[in-house]
């Protein structure tokens, strides 16, 4: 079974925009192919726009998952092993080397679901997107928006490990409590705060050195005013625009010239050669208790669209995961 779209999304996706399709999968595998059953499916913001550009009508919705291998013609992967793949929202998938990210090793104290979160695509995004681009130094001030989500909460925790002061913002008081419980120094609710530069000046009186931007839009422009000369900005995402019907009307970033800011966008895939180092450190930090894992789990494959919509609407704390 797999999910496809019934129509293009109009603003925030709705459950009726998705339907389940049943198909017979030919288990006569070609060289390098692997067949597996989904254990965990990841629901991620990029699916919102990627479905529009990359998923033709009738095709499976794209996404990451952890599968258990049931048949393999690939010498690297064996029956019974778990692997993390870009296989889509499906219960059974046939993938090849191109779609496999890495094996899900049995690591003491780490659940399989973490391989679609802190040890999966969001974790690699947080580690590589923050450390490679922001180059944080001990004692600097870091600001992360979307700070209670899958990527944001990890960026904040990594920034603390690196000895930074960390300020965050998110969309509810419950999330503020969560972010503070994992080490954020100060957090505000962007939905009730009308004056972002004002609150940032209070929470970060020495200015912001590193800005990890998950949100985009007005928030991004306002934060620039609070940045120090020579600040670094990791442009990770722009979730505030994903469900908007009028994209691309942002103001120009003149302030980034005045402040000589280094602002760099990235796609996590460009850091593939850094993943082994990232995994090594992330696993070590989890085992040492320095990096806390938090997930919002939805049970049942049929509830994947609802889990996706809840995540886009802010219903998740930490990583949004579907237990198939
Ligand atoms: P999250 O787990 O953070 O879930 C999305 C969250 O976004 C929601 O919980 C909600 O939290 C928040 N949100 C929704 N609408 C808005 C809005 N209008 N303004 C501000 N916040 C909003 O998702 P991820 O951690 O997986 O992704 C975070 C960002 O990172 C996304 O922009 C994503 O596209 C990007 N990304 C980029 C990658 C890359 O390679 N560059 C790779 C992976 C992710 P709240 O309650 O706080 O509003």
The pLDDT tens digits for 248-286 are 444 444 677 778 888 899 999 999 999 999 999 999 999
> What is the mean pLDDT of the segment spanning 147-157?
98
319 within some domain: yes
Q: What's the CATH code of the domain at 43?
A: 3.90.180.10
Q: pLDDT at position 254, please?
A: 63
Nearest to 52 by CA among 42, 41, 62: 62
Asked whether 305 lines ligand 1 (CB < 6 A), one says: no
Rg (CA), the chain: 20
277 within some domain: no
| Ligand 1 site-directed mutation target among 189, 234, 239, most atoms within 8 Å of CB | 239
Whole-number Å distance, alpha carbon 33 to ligand 1 midpoint, is 33
The domain of 169 spans 121-267
- Taking the CA of residue 46 as reference, the ligand 1 atom at the shortest distance is 34
Asked whether 314 lines ligand 1 (CB < 6 A), one says: yes
Residues 6+ apart with CB under 8 A from 118: 126, 154, 282, 286, 291, 293, 319
278 within some domain: no
Assess whether 126 and 260 both reside in one domain: yes
- Taking the CA of residue 191 as reference, the ligand 1 atom at the shortest distance is 48
Asked whether 44 lines ligand 1 (CB < 6 A), one says: yes
Nearest to 187 by CA among 217, 228, 142: 142
Query: Whole-angstrom Cα distance, residue 120 to residue 101?
Result: 9
Assess whether 211 and 112 both reside in one domain: no
> Would you call 238 helix, strand, or coil by DSSP?
coil
Q: pLDDT at position 319, please?
A: 98
Asked whether 237 lines ligand 1 (CB < 6 A), one says: yes
286 within some domain: no
The model carries a pTM of 0.95
Paired tokens of 189: 């609710």
281 within some domain: no
Query: Whole-angstrom Cα distance, residue 228 to residue 206?
Result: 8
């Amino acid at each position: 079974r797999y999910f496809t779209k019934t129509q293009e999304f109009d603003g925030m996706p709705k459950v009726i925009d998705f339907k389940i399709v049943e198909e017979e999968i030919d288990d006569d595998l070609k060289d390098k192919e692997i067949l597996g059953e989904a254990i965990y499916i990841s629901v991620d913001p990029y699916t919102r726009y990627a479905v529009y550009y990359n998923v033709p009508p009738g095709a499976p919705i794209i996404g990451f998952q952890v599968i258990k291998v049931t048949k393999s013609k690939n010498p690297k992967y064996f029956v019974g092993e778990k692997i993390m793949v870009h296989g889509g929202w499906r219960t059974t998938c046939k993938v090849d080397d191109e779609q496999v990210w890495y094996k899900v090793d049995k690591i003491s104290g780490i659940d399989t679901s973490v391989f679609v979160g802190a040890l999966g695509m969001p974790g690699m995004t947080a580690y590589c997107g923050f450390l490679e681009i922001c180059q944080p130094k001990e004692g600097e001030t870091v600001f992360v928006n979307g700070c209670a989500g899958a990527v944001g909460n990890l960026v904040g925790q990594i920034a603390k490990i690196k000895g930074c002061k960390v300020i965050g913002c998110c969309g509810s008081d419950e999330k503020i409590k969560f972010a503070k419980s994992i080490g954020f120094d100060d957090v505000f609710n962007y939905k009730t705060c009308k004056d972002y530069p004002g609150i940032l000046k209070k929470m970060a009186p020495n200015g912001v050195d590193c800005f990890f931007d998950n949100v985009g839009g007005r928030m991004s422009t306002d934060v620039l005013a609070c940045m120090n000369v020579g600040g670094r900005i990791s442009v990770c995402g722009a979730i505030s625009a994903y469900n908007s019907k009028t994209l691309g009307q942002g103001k120009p970033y003149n302030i980034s010239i005045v402040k000589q800011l280094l602002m760099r966008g990235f796609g996590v895939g460009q850091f593939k050669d850094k993943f082994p180092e990232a995994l090594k450190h992330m696993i070590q930090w989890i085992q040492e208790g320095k990096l806390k894992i938090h997930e919002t789990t939805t049970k049942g494959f049929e509830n994947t669209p609802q889990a996706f919509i809840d995540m886009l609407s802010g219903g998740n704390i930490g990583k949004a995961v579907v237990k198939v």
